[in-house]
Amino acid sequence: MRTFKLQVQTTVDGYMAGPNGEMDWMTFPWTDDINAYIDAITDSVDCIVLGRKLAEGFIPAWKSGPPGETEESIDWMNNTPKVVISNTLTESPWENATVAGGDLAETVNKLKAQPGGDIIAYGGGTLVRDLIAKDLLDELHLFVNPAAIGTGMPVFPDLGAPQRLRLVTARPFECGITALHYEPKRS
């Protein structure tokens, strides 16, 4: 079965965006050490999962070749097949992207059962919180930025009960971000 990874930027106090979606707290520019770490995470990935709202900005932004990104990163983002999770879209308006709706757990389990490399999900508050709440992830890669914002869109939803995680690695980078790699502790 394929490994399903999450990569998300977060504040020290656990938010992935401010109350109105602000992301001005994110640390840039990144340093070579964090870029190499991300390359290692994505090396085995051949499918990107996005929520619809994030896809609407993410896919066109990468298609236009964002400034400051390497051609290799731009090519990887554009050429890697994407699955957009949406219950409002019926077909994809983007190249190299399909739309999947319905039950999230069923969709993810079908993706994981297909042959291929690993799968990675990038943010989008609703998608991230649903993936965590439904315990669908095999790895969580939290990129903790050296900022606290006090309120906003939390990475972790109200789960109703503790979700136990095992720390695999914690790695600080020159730019000030610390990557925390967790795996769920499952019975």
Answer whether the bond into residue 146 is a cis peptide, omega within 30°.
no
Give the residue carrying structure tokens 């990874």: 5
- What is the DSSP pairing of strand 15-17 with strand 97-100? unpaired
Respond yes or no on whether the N-terminal peptide bond of residue 29 is cis (omega within 30° of 0).
Answer: yes
Residue 40 to residue 116: CA distance in whole angstroms: 17
Tell me, what amino acid is at 78?
N
Alpha-carbon gap, residue 5 to 121, rounded angstroms: 6
**Per-residue model confidence as pLDDT tens digits over 152-174:** 999 997 888 888 999 999 999 99
Which CATH code fits 4-184? 3.40.430.10
Is the pTM above the cut of 0.85? yes
Question: What local confidence, expressed as pLDDT, does residue 69 receive?
Answer: 86
pLDDT on residue 94 = 93
pLDDT at 68: 83
Instruction: Report CA-CA distances (Å) from 134 to 1, 102, 127, 131, 151.
Output: 18, 14, 10, 5, 24
* Domain ranges, ordered by start, for the chain: 4-184
* 179 DSSP β-pair partners: 143, 171
Q: From residue 16, how far is each of 6, 59, 64, 73 by CA, in Å?
A: 13, 19, 24, 22
pLDDT surpasses 80 at 123: no
For residue 149, the model assigns a pLDDT of: 98
pLDDT band at residue 14 under the 50/70/90 scheme? very high
Q: What is the pLDDT, as a whole number, of residue 112?
A: 97
pLDDT for 57-115, tens place per residue? 999 999 999 988 889 999 999 999 999 999 999 899 999 999 999 999 999 999 999 99
